[in-house]
Amino acid sequence: MKKISKGNLIDLVALMAENQQVYLPVKANGETNYARYTAGAEVDIDTLKTVKSAKEVFFPQSETLYTVVTEDKKYKITQQELQKEEFVLFGVRPCDVKGIEVLDRVFLTDPVDTFYKARRDHGVIVSFACSEPEESCFCKVFGIDCAEPNADVACWVKDGEIFWKALTAKGEALTEKCASVLADADETAVDTLKSDIRNIVEKLPYMNLSLEGWNGEVTDEKFNSEIWETLYKPCLACGTCTFVCPTCQCYDIKDYKTSNGIQKYRCWDSCMYSDFTMMAHGNNRTTQLQRYRQRFMHKLVYFPKNNDGMYSCVGCGRCVDKCPASTNIVKVIKAFMNEEAGK
Amino acid sequence: MQELIKRITELLENGEVQRVVGWKKGDLGYNPEPAYFETAEALKDFVYDGFCGANLSKYMIKACELEGKTLVLLKPCDTYSFNQLIKEHRISKEKIYVIGVGCKGKLDIEKIKAMGIKGITAISGVEITDECDTINIETVYGNKTVAYKDAMLERCHVCKGKEHKVYDELFFDSADTDDGDRFAGVDYIESLSPEEKFEFFKKELSKCIRCNACRNVCPACSCRKCVFDSTKFDADRKANVDPFEESMFHIIRAFHVAGRCTDCGECSRVCPQGIPLHLFNRKFIKDINAFYGEYQAGAEVDERSPLTNFTFDDLEPGERR
């Protein structure tokens, strides 16, 4: 275990940034999101949840895949370069770390997504325990312990100090690079903090949420429930929940016309949008009820069905915080809980 | 509150209305959701408090396609949007029964959280029948109090007034909340140099995640098919590979709702990235006021909007008043 005064955080970040890119929560115009560190950036590790999750560092909202340029009546195709340099992703909360594990299931299984894999191979993740969990958090429901980060390096903030513990070989290597600003610390220094965090977690309003009945085997039962008819009604069909979500992974691939060719790019898609999964024959989901249902069925039924029971929700609560109509996955789970109880 | 619920129940049970669109209790004390109530029993979850900021008028477009009459609860500012939708033939008053509800200002949970208040387990003092002076907040980190007006949405500080422009019945008293200058933000931006203006909007709009929440919540954005939903358009609803959001999307939208925007403030309320989108609309409103005389969209159903009207007094291009 190592430590550094929180007041010297920028020294640590600047040192890391000397020989690699560092992505971390930065506050800009009032909102905190992941961004590449540049000198003078307002680093913000106090905000519990960035608006967008850490997924965008590995899976950006939009990225060019290749470009085509017409030259002398010939096409010249240039593939976008893959990530080649090592980088640090700093300040990630345990729920977002789990979110990345979910994305790995999608992008690292055959066929492997080379753009995603290149970033995963070169990224070192430094995760921070959640000293002060908030009311919209329910990561524990999905088996996450926000007092015990599980990444290359785990960090805790306590009494104005950041405690640092390497958990993997990548983490050890990063620790060595930062040795000049890190001091030795006692392994037990954060024990009381961990139990304090766990005590707070137990008091949070969503701790009674039960996932009983949600698994890969209940497609027909859940799909055909009449509850969806009521649940989807407030939905505005915007993409907020899908874009702030650390596990939503759907994307679209499109052409952007340039003056002399095209840029082939991909961008986050949203199952809330009416052209989602639009194909040549048309669209297999024509109503908002169907699209709304898709999102939750995917997280709680289809994904576990195809991934050894792993849910594709991590309980970060961003949809709870951000849905403009205050509908969200918690309300969906609760509605089914009440339905079961009423039977 | 019991009187309102009693009256709504009566209207439902005697068949005068088939359904009610109102707000349903949330599960965190600050997150009620717009909801349809079709039975008296369902009304047990009905709520109307300081967090019912959602403007329900746009839900009437769908409701008007349904069999029978729909009862809707509207705050004073929502009635402007409602009138505007009638004016644009998107909804029909004959299909809707309006209960106007008083308003003491609506709350912005983001403002409360920005005060460092977290781990909220209960909130009180925000019922429409309360004084709405102080908010009591219980959290897992201890209890807090916040002055009601410090937690109000920006739009409530520049309230258009507590008079309902359309209603069948009224419930609850309102409280005056207008203590701000509606055009202060626009004046500030107008005072900047072109470079500074560009920088201001670039910084704000680069936060856009193209979720389209602003468009989808906007009662003036009621096109059956939005231009941005066309798959044949390079800049359809998803994030682009160029800075389209920064430079075009919001400007195009602001132009499209100019003269029709009632300044209900829903765009800014729902933006997950806290972009002050209302500033665009207010700039248009300010200019329309200056060029054509004071005009408030949605105040009247029958008057013509300055931008769809012609008079010999109209300004010539480039002329200023």
Q: Would you state the pLDDT for residue B245?
A: 67
Q: A141 CB contacts (<8 Å, ≥6 apart)?
A: A206, A207, A209, A210, A211, A315
User: Last residue of a domain, which of A178, A207, A236?
Assistant: A207
- Shortest Cα distance, chain A CAs vs residue B171, angstroms: 24
pLDDT tens track for A166-189: 999 999 999 999 999 999 999 899
Task: Judge whether A142 is closer than 8 Å to chain B, CB to CB.
Answer: no
Amino acid at A165: K
**Cβ neighbour number for residue B81 with a 10 Å cutoff:** 28
Distance CA A112, CA A335 (A): 37
- Is B230 a residue whose pLDDT tops 90? no
Same domain, A128 and A31: yes
Same domain, A269 and A338: yes
Same domain, A183 and A83: yes
Same domain, A74 and A163: yes
Distance CA B29, CA B13 (A): 29
Distance CA A102, CA A160 (A): 33
Interchain contact, A233 vs B36, CB within 8 Å? yes
Structural tokens at position B79:
């009635």
Q: Which of residues 53-82 of A touch B (CB under 8 A)?
A: 61-64
Structural tokens at position A231:
């649940």
Within a domain: A40: yes
Interchain contact, A324 vs B217, CB within 8 Å? yes
Judge whether B137 and B120 are in contact, CB under 8 Å: yes
Q: Which of A233, A237, A252 sits opposite B216 (nearest CB)?
A: A237
Q: Would you state the pLDDT for residue B1?
A: 93
Task: Judge whether B78 is closer than 8 Å to chain A, CB to CB.
Answer: no
Same domain, A116 and A172: yes
Within a domain: A126: yes
3-state secondary structure of B46: strand
Query: How many pairs of residues across A and B have Cβ atoms under 8 Å apart?
Result: 142
Same domain, A114 and A165: yes
Q: How many distinct structural domains can be found in chain A?
A: 2
Tell me the C-alpha to C-alpha distance, in Å, between residue B163 and each of A225, B52, B88, B103, B289: 43, 18, 22, 10, 21
Tell me the C-alpha to C-alpha distance, in Å, between residue A224 and each of A138, A289, A303: 27, 12, 18
Q: Would you state the pLDDT for residue B248?
A: 84
DSSP structure class, residue A89: E
Question: Which residue did the predictor score with more confidence, B304 or A43?
Answer: A43
Within a domain: A159: yes
For the segment B253-263, the average pLDDT, to the nearest whole number, is 96
- Is A213 a residue whose pLDDT tops 90? yes
Within a domain: A111: yes
- Shortest Cα distance, chain A CAs vs residue B313, angstroms: 41
Task: Judge whether B32 is closer than 8 Å to chain A, CB to CB.
Answer: yes
Distance CA B68, CA B64 (A): 8
What's the farthest any 2 CA atoms get from each other in chain B?
Answer: 65
Q: Which of A31, A135, A234 sits opposite B120 (nearest CB)?
A: A135
For the segment B266-289, the average pLDDT, to the nearest whole number, is 96
Interchain contact, B237 vs A205, CB within 8 Å? no
Q: Which of B139, B217, B234 sits opposite A256 (nearest CB)?
A: B234
pLDDT tens track for B192-214: 999 999 999 999 999 999 999 99
Q: Would you state the pLDDT for residue B235?
A: 67
Q: ipTM of the predicted structure?
A: 0.95
Distance CA A132, CA A199 (A): 11
Q: Which of residues 86-145 of B touch A (CB under 8 A)?
A: 118-121, 139-141
Q: Which of A33, A62, A322 sits opposite B240 (nearest CB)?
A: A62
Judge whether B299 and B165 are in contact, CB under 8 Å: yes
Same domain, A107 and A179: yes
Taking CA atoms, what residue in B is nearest to A235? B34
Within a domain: A136: yes
Distance CA B152, CA B108 (A): 6
The DSSP element (H or E) to which A126 belongs, if any, is: strand A123-128
Taking CA atoms, what residue in B is nearest to A199? B140
Amino acid at B87: K
Distance CA B126, CA B176 (A): 15
- Mutation target vs B (from A44, A230, A240, A330; most B CBs, 10 A cutoff): A240
Distance CA A322, CA A328 (A): 9
Within a domain: A101: yes
Distance CA B153, CA A328 (A): 22
Same domain, A29 and A171: yes
Same domain, A167 and A233: no
Q: Tell me the residue range of the domain where A50 lies.
A: 2-207
Residue A23: beta bridge partners? A36, A89
Q: Would you state the pLDDT for residue A107?
A: 98
Task: Judge whether B157 is closer than 8 Å to chain A, CB to CB.
Answer: no
Same domain, A60 and A186: yes
Within a domain: A213: no
Task: Judge whether B210 is closer than 8 Å to chain A, CB to CB.
Answer: yes
